[in-house]
């Protein structure tokens, strides 16, 4: 009986240790004009502050699960939501400036914002070629968040 309990503990112990691992992620945040952005807030879905970028736009966070969504917030920039992949160890993000559109329909504003959003992969590659980023493309998925949602009639 004692050997069965001991064998059960040995079988369960490694899975408990593996599930309790923390992951350390590093990253950098720059603007669409390739300037480092200090003091950018990085939060999780519960708005718990995970990190703040330094003067060079670099940060380091510790998370329990790599399949997590991060919110990146800075005054004057578009709020950004990214969802990490399992293979993500280095997060490199380009933030777009938030633009004020006067006398323009909300539908047109979203079209203009989407046009800027679709340029992010090219900007990421350019940042890589300039030596600002270490990866050619992002290891996370980023979705466009509309500011205008059509109501159904």
**Token pair in block for residue 76:** 């004057």
What is the pLDDT, as a whole number, of residue 32? Answer: 96
Euclidean distance between CA atoms 81 and 135, whole angstroms: 19
What is the pLDDT, as a whole number, of residue 82? Answer: 95
Distance of CA 28 to the CA centre of its chain: 10
What is the pLDDT, as a whole number, of residue 134? Answer: 95
Task: Evaluate if residue 148 carries a pLDDT over 90.
Answer: no
What is the pLDDT, as a whole number, of residue 95? Answer: 97
Task: Evaluate if residue 114 carries a pLDDT over 60.
Answer: yes
Structural domains of the chain, with CATH: 22-142 (2.60.40.1120)
What is the pLDDT, as a whole number, of residue 52? Answer: 97
């Amino acid at each position: 009986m004692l050997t069965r309990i001991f064998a059960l503990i040995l079988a369960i112990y490694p899975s408990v240790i593996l599930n309790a691992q923390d992951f350390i992620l590093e990253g950098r945040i720059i603007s669409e004009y390739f300037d480092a952005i200090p003091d950018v807030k990085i939060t999780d879905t519960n708005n718990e502050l995970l990190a703040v970028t330094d003067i060079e736009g670099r940060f380091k966070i510790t998370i329990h699960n790599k399949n997590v969504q991060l919110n990146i917030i800075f005054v004057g920039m578009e709020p950004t939501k990214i969802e990490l992949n399992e293979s993500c160890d280095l997060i490199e993000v380009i933030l777009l400036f938030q633009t004020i559109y006067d006398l323009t329909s909300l539908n047109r504003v979203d079209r203009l914002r989407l046009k800027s959003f679709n340029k992010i992969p090219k900007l990421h590659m350019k940042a890589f070629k300039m030596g600002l980023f270490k990866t050619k493309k992002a290891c996370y998925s980023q979705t466009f968040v509309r500011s205008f949602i059509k109501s159904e009639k």
